[in-house]
């Protein structure tokens, strides 16, 4: 009888699940679900003709193409640069390593508008670097290439911070063992390191791409906002809001939300497939 009473009163090792769960659901609902649901409700509340007319105008389609293409190329560059940076920070010890490690997070802390002004000042035809680039007919201001540079800056930390912990968990002895068995550096990287690093690297690329699609502050100062040429999708949302076209702004925002959400679903699917393949 005493054992039965003891088992009935047995408490969990980690208490407070009900309160913690309630706080988590409330926080996610208030901060994430409710604001995003208003965009979805507003988009579905429009009639199909108005909705498709808002997202298929020439300026909006051009902004989608520009935002997706520039974010794609920027995320690819971040994949290479971010991986090399993470590898250097983890595997090597050198003076100033902690300072370099701290600078990686600068795009997280720096206001995006400040970054945009810095890029516009730096790469303008009379800027510190722009004046030299202008002599060889290289223009970055009011060009998609300038947008790519801004998005590289914004997305760079996502790749570094997702890959860096995975590299830290890999023991150097694994590479030494592969080399002692006759494997080349490329074979060691491709067959041993890359399978472990690929999920984290893909996560960083996806996060950088999703952030690049919706980036606004660091881009508008360097893009020039030329209609049908350098107008990004977030700028179209702001333009429609300035024109009090709330339905049109919601429609464009819904498409960006759908693209980002699809990228996250694809990422989760690839990660699950990766886990099953190596089990």
pLDDT of residue 181: 78
CATH architecture, domain 53-277? Orthogonal Bundle (1.10)
pLDDT of residue 6: 47
Residue positions counted in the chain: 279
Stated pTM of the model: 0.83
Residue 134 neighbours by CB under 8 Å, 6+ apart? 125
The model's pLDDT over 180-213, given as tens digits with 9 standing for 90+, comes to 777 788 888 888 888 888 888 988 999 999 899 9
Burial class (CB in 10 A: 0-12, 13-18, 19+), 225: middle
The model's pLDDT over 110-146, given as tens digits with 9 standing for 90+, comes to 888 888 888 888 888 888 888 888 888 888 888 898 8
Q: How far is it, in rounded angstroms, from Cα 124 to Cα 243?
A: 30
pLDDT of residue 13: 61
Percent of the chain with pLDDT strictly greater than 70: 92
Q: How far is it, in rounded angstroms, from Cα 117 to Cα 176?
A: 47
> For the chain, which ranges sit under pLDDT 50?
1, 5-6
pLDDT of residue 278: 59
pLDDT of residue 164: 93
Q: How far is it, in rounded angstroms, from Cα 220 to Cα 233?
A: 11
pLDDT of residue 2: 52
pLDDT of residue 140: 85
Q: How far is CA 19 from CA 12, 24, 30, 32, in A?
A: 14, 9, 16, 19
Closest CA to 42 of 245, 263, 217: 245
pLDDT of residue 78: 95
pLDDT of residue 274: 66
pLDDT of residue 77: 95
């Amino acid at each position: 009888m005493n054992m039965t009473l003891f088992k009935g009163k047995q408490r969990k090792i980690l208490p407070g699940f009900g309160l913690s769960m309630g706080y988590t659901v409330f926080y996610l609902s208030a901060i994430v679900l409710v604001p995003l649901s208003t965009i979805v409700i507003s988009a579905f509340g429009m009639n199909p003709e108005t909705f498709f007319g808002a997202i298929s105008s020439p300026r909006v389609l051009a902004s989608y193409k520009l935002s997706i293409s520039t974010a794609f190329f920027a995320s690819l560059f971040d994949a290479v640069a971010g991986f090399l940076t993470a590898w250097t920070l983890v595997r090597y010890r050198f003076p100033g390593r902690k300072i370099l490690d701290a600078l990686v997070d600068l795009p997280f802390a720096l206001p995006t508008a400040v970054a945009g002004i810095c890029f516009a000042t730096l790469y303008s035809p009379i800027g510190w670097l722009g004046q030299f680039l202008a002599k060889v007919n290289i223009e970055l201001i009011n060009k998609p290439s300038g947008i790519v540079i801004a998005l590289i800056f914004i997305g760079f930390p996502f790749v570094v911070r997702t890959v860096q912990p995975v590299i830290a968990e890999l023991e150097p002895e694994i590479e030494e063992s592969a080399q002692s068995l006759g494997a080349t550096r490329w074979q060691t990287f491709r067959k041993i390191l890359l399978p472990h690093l690929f999920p984290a690297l893909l996560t960083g690329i996806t996060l950088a791409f999703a952030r690049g699609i919706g980036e606004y502050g660091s881009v508008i100062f360097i893009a020039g906002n030329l209609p049908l040429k350098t107008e990004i999708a977030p700028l179209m949302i702001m333009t429609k809001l300035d024109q009090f076209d709330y339905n049109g702004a919601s429609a464009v925002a819904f498409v960006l939300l759908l693209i980002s959400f699809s990228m996250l679903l694809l990422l989760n699917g690839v990660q699950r497939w990766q886990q099953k393949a190596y089990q």
